[in-house]
Amino acid sequence: MINYLFKNNNIFILLLLLLSFDCYSQCTGCTVTNPTASNYTFATNSVVCFTTGTTTMSDVVFQNNSKICIASGATLIIQNNINSSNGTNVTFEIGGTLQFNQSPNISSNLTINIANGGVLRAGTSGGNNFTFNGTTNTLTNNGTVAVSVLGFSNGSSTNLVDNYNLFTIGQNINISGTTTFRNYGTINIGQSYNNNSTSTYLNCGTINSAVGYNLGGGKIINTGTFNVGTGSIDMSGNSRLENYGTFYSKGSINGASSSVIYNEGLMKVTTWQPNGATINGPTSSSKKGYTYFLNTVNPNGAKIGPNLDLTRYSQYETTMVKAGAQGQSAIFNSTPTYINSSGTSTTAALANVTYDCSGSGTCSAPVVTNTNICFNTDGSFPPVANNDTFNLNAGSSSTTSVLANDLEQYNGAAATTSNVILTQVSTSNTGVTLNTSTGLIQVGSSVTSGTYTINYQICRTSLPSSCSTAVVTVNVTGTTSAVCYKPAVTSGTALSTNEGFTSLSRANSGDTNWPGVRKGAWVVLESKTKGFVLNRLTTSQVSAIPTDDLKEGMMVYNTTLNCLQINTDGTVAGWKCFNTQTCPD
pLDDT tens track for 349-373: 999 999 998 766 678 898 988 887 8
Q: List, in sequence order, the alpha helices (H) in 133-233.
A: none
**141 belongs to a structural domain:** no
**Do both 358 and 399 map to the same domain?**
no
At 406, is the secondary structure helix, strand, or coil?
coil
More confident: 530 or 460: 460
d(CA 320, CA 40): 58
**430 belongs to a structural domain:** yes
Do residues 173 and 200 lie in contact, with contact meaning Cβ atoms separated by under 8 Å? no
pLDDT band at 494 (very low <50, low <70, confident <90, very high): confident
* Residues 264-294: tens digit of each pLDDT: 999 999 999 999 999 999 999 999 999 999 9
**Domain end position, chosen among 375, 399, 426:** 375
**Do both 116 and 265 map to the same domain?**
no
**pLDDT average, residue stretch 411-422:** 93
pLDDT at residue 415, rounded to an integer: 95
**Domain end position, chosen among 409, 444, 477:** 477
Do residues 255 and 276 lie in contact, with contact meaning Cβ atoms separated by under 8 Å? yes
pLDDT at residue 480, rounded to an integer: 43
d(CA 424, CA 407): 17
Residue 147: which of 125, 126, 162 has the closest Cα? 126
**Do both 82 and 49 map to the same domain?**
yes
**307 belongs to a structural domain:** yes
Residue 246 scores a pLDDT above 90: yes
pLDDT band at 23 (very low <50, low <70, confident <90, very high): very low
More confident: 572 or 126: 126
Residue 167 scores a pLDDT above 90: yes
**171 belongs to a structural domain:** no
d(CA 309, CA 322): 14
* pTM confidence score: 0.75
Domain carrying residue 363:
192-375
More confident: 501 or 435: 435
**521 belongs to a structural domain:** no
**Do both 394 and 368 map to the same domain?**
no
**Do both 428 and 302 map to the same domain?**
no
Backbone angles phi, psi at 402, to 5 degrees: -65, -20
- Characterise 276 by phi-psi region: left (phi > 0), alpha (psi -120 to 50), beta (else): left
Residue 53 scores a pLDDT above 70: yes
**547 belongs to a structural domain:** yes
Residue 575 scores a pLDDT above 80: yes
**Do both 473 and 549 map to the same domain?**
no
**Do both 1 and 63 map to the same domain?**
yes
pLDDT band at 583 (very low <50, low <70, confident <90, very high): low
**Do both 32 and 93 map to the same domain?**
yes
The full 3-state SS of 215-277, as one line of letters, equals: CCCCEEEECCEEEEEEEEEECCCCCEEEECCEEEEEEEEECCCCCEEEECCEEEEEEEECCCC
Residue 473: which of 388, 399, 393, 396 has the closest Cα? 388
**149 belongs to a structural domain:** no
**pLDDT average, residue stretch 453-472:** 95
**pLDDT average, residue stretch 451-469:** 95
**Domain end position, chosen among 451, 477, 503:** 477
**Do both 215 and 347 map to the same domain?**
yes
**Do both 129 and 107 map to the same domain?**
yes
Residue 545 scores a pLDDT above 60: yes
**Do both 207 and 319 map to the same domain?**
yes
**Do both 347 and 220 map to the same domain?**
yes
How many domains are there within the chain? Answer: 4
**pLDDT average, residue stretch 103-120:** 97
More confident: 137 or 528: 137
**265 belongs to a structural domain:** yes
